[in-house]
A and B are shown apart, each in its own frame.
Chain A
Amino acid sequence: MIDAGLPPRLERIGNKLNGPNTLGNSRAFWLAFAVGMVVMAAYPLIRGSYAAGQFSLFLAYGLLALSLSLIWGYTGILSFGQVAFFGIAGYTYAIVSLNLGGPLGQTVALPVAVAAATLSAFVLGYFMFYGGVQDVYVAILTLVVTLVLETFMAQTAGSEWSIGTVALGGFNGIPGIRNFALGVEGASLTLSGSGFYWFVLGVLLLAYLGARVLVNSKYGYALVAIREDAERTAMLGYNVKKVKLAVFTLSGALAGFGGVLYATWGNYMDPSVFSLVFATIPIVWVTLGGRESLLGAIVGTIIIERLRLWFSVNASEFAIVFVGVILMTTVLLLPRGILPGIRDTYVFFSEHGVREGLERGRVTVQTRIRTLLQSVGVDVSEPETPPSSEVVRE
Chain B
Amino acid sequence: MTSGFGATSMLTPLIIGDVLGALDSIGVPVGQLLQMADSIAFIILAAIGLTVIFGMMGVINLAHGEFIMMGAYITTLSVNVLAVPLPVAMILGALGTAAFGAIVERTIVRRLYGRLLDSMIVTFGLGLILTQGTRIIFGNSLQSIGTPFGNVPGYTYSAYRVLLLLAAVAVLGGAYLVFTRTEFGIKARATIQDAETARSMGVDTDRMYTVTFAIGSGLAGLTGALYAPSATIVPGMGQSFLVESFVTVVTGGSTVLLGTTLAGGVLGTIDAIFSNLYGNFIGQIALLITAIIVIRLLPDGLTGLAHTVRDKLGERQ
On A, residues with C-beta under 8 Å from B are: 78, 127, 130-133, 135-137, 139-141, 143-145, 147-148, 151-152, 155, 276-277, 280, 283-284, 287, 317-318, 320-321, 323-328, 331-332, 335, 372, 375-377
The reply to whether A327 and B107 form a contact with Cβ atoms under 8 Å apart is no
Pair B118/A317 contact, Cβ less than 8 Å: no
Partner of A328, one of B122, B284, B285, B296: B122
Q: How far is the CA of A75 from the CA of B281 in the complex (A)?
A: 33
Q: Which one of A131, A287, A321, A323 lies within 8 Å of B136 (CB-CB)?
A: A321
Q: B246 CB to closest chain A CB, in angstroms?
A: 5
Indicate if the CB atoms of B128 and A136 lie closer than 8 Å: no
The answer on a CB contact under 8 Å between A139 and B120 is yes
A135: contacting residue among B116, B124, B242, CB under 8 A:
B116
Is B1 located at the chain interface by the 8 A CB criterion?
Answer: no
Q: Given known contacts A136-B116, A280-B128, A327-B124, is B288 in contact with A145 (CB within 8 Å)?
A: yes
The answer to whether residues A148 and B125 also contact, given A139-B60, A331-B118 and a CB cut-off of 8 A, is no
Instruction: Point out which of A127, A130, A140 has the most chain B C-beta atoms below 10 A from its C-beta.
Output: A140
B-side interface size class: 35 or more
A327 partner, pick from B103, B110, B128, beta carbons under 8 A:
B128
Given A321-B128, A375-B107, A327 and B292 touching (CB < 8 A)? Answer: no
A85 to chain B, nearest CB (A): 17
**B192 lies within 8 A of chain A by Cβ:** no
Q: Would you call B128 and A148 a contact (CB within 8 A)?
A: no
Is B128 within 8 A of A283, CB to CB? Answer: no
Whether the Cβ atoms of B281 and A152 lie closer than 8 Å is yes
Pairwise interchain contact A140-B249, C-beta atoms closer than 8 A? yes
Identity of the chain B residue whose Cβ is nearest the Cβ of A152 in the assembled complex: B281
CB closest residue in chain A, given B246: A140
- Other than the given A139-B117, A147-B242, 12 more pairs (CB < 8 A) read A130-B296, A131-B292, A141-B292, A280-B124, A320-B131, A321-B129, A324-B125, A325-B125, A327-B125, A328-B122, A331-B112, A376-B106
Specify which of A148, A280, A327, A335 is in contact with B285 (CB 8 Å cutoff): A148
A277:B296 contact, CB within 8 angstroms: no
Q: Give the Cβ gap from B48 to chain A, nearest Cβ, in Å.
A: 16
Q: Give CA–CA (A283, B62) in the complex, Å.
A: 14
Looking at A276, A277, A317, A372, which has the most chain B CB atoms within 10 Å of its CB?
Answer: A276
Known: A140-B60, A276-B239, A283-B121. A325 touches B129 (CB 8 A): yes
Determine the distance from Cα of A296 to Cα of B110 in the docked complex, in whole angstroms: 27
Cβ-defined contact, B284 with A78, below 8 A: no
The answer to whether A136 and B122 touch (CB under 8 A), given A131-B295, A131-B299, A144-B291, is no
Question: Nearest chain-B residue to A139 (Cβ)?
Answer: B120
Judging by beta carbons under 8 Å apart, are A318 and B128 in contact?
no
Is A331 a contact of B125 with CB atoms below 8 Å?
yes
- Do the beta carbons of A133 and B246 come within 8 Å of each other? no
Tell me whether B250 is interfacial, beta carbon within 8 Å.
yes
CA distance A331 to B291 in the complex (A): 30
| CA gap between A325 and B118 in the complex, in Å | 14
Docked pose: A141 CA to B108 CA in angstroms: 25
Interfacial residues of chain B within 77-128, with CB under 8 A of chain A in the complex: 103, 106-108, 110-112, 115-118, 120-122, 124-128
Taking a contact as CB atoms under 8 Å apart, the answer to whether B243 and A318 are in contact is no
Distance A147 CA – B65 CA, assembled complex (angstroms): 13
| Least CB distance, A281 to chain B, in whole angstroms | 10
Tell me whether A143 and B128 are in contact (CB under 8 A). no
B107 to A, closest residue via Cβ? A376
Contact, CB under 8 Å: B128 / A78: no
- For the complex of A and B, 3 pairs with smallest distance between CB atoms: A327-B125, A324-B128, A324-B129
Bound-state CA distance A17–B197 (Å) is 48
Expressed in whole angstroms, the minimum distance between the Cβ of B293 and any Cβ of chain A is: 9
Pick from B108, B133, B242, B299: contact of A332, CB below 8 A: B108
List, in ascending order, chain B residues with CB within 8 A of A284's CB.
125
Knowing A320-B132, A376-B107, say if A144 contacts B247 (CB, 8 Å): yes
List 11 A–B pairs whose Cβ atoms lie within 8 Å, in order of A's numbering: A133-B299, A139-B120, A144-B291, A148-B243, A151-B280, A277-B128, A287-B121, A318-B136, A323-B125, A331-B122, A332-B111
Min CB–CB distance A211 → chain B (angstroms): 21
Enumerate B270-309 residues with CB–CB distance to A below 8 Å. Answer: 280-281, 284-285, 288, 291-292, 295-296, 299
Given that A131-B299, A144-B291, A321-B133 are contacting pairs, would A332 and B120 also be in contact in the complex, using a CB cutoff of 8 Å?
no
In the assembled complex, B135 has its CB within 8 A of some CB on chain A: yes
When the two chains form the complex, which single residue of A78, A144, A317, A376 contacts B117, counting CB atoms closer than 8 Å?
A: A78
- Give the Cβ gap from B242 to chain A, nearest Cβ, in Å: 6
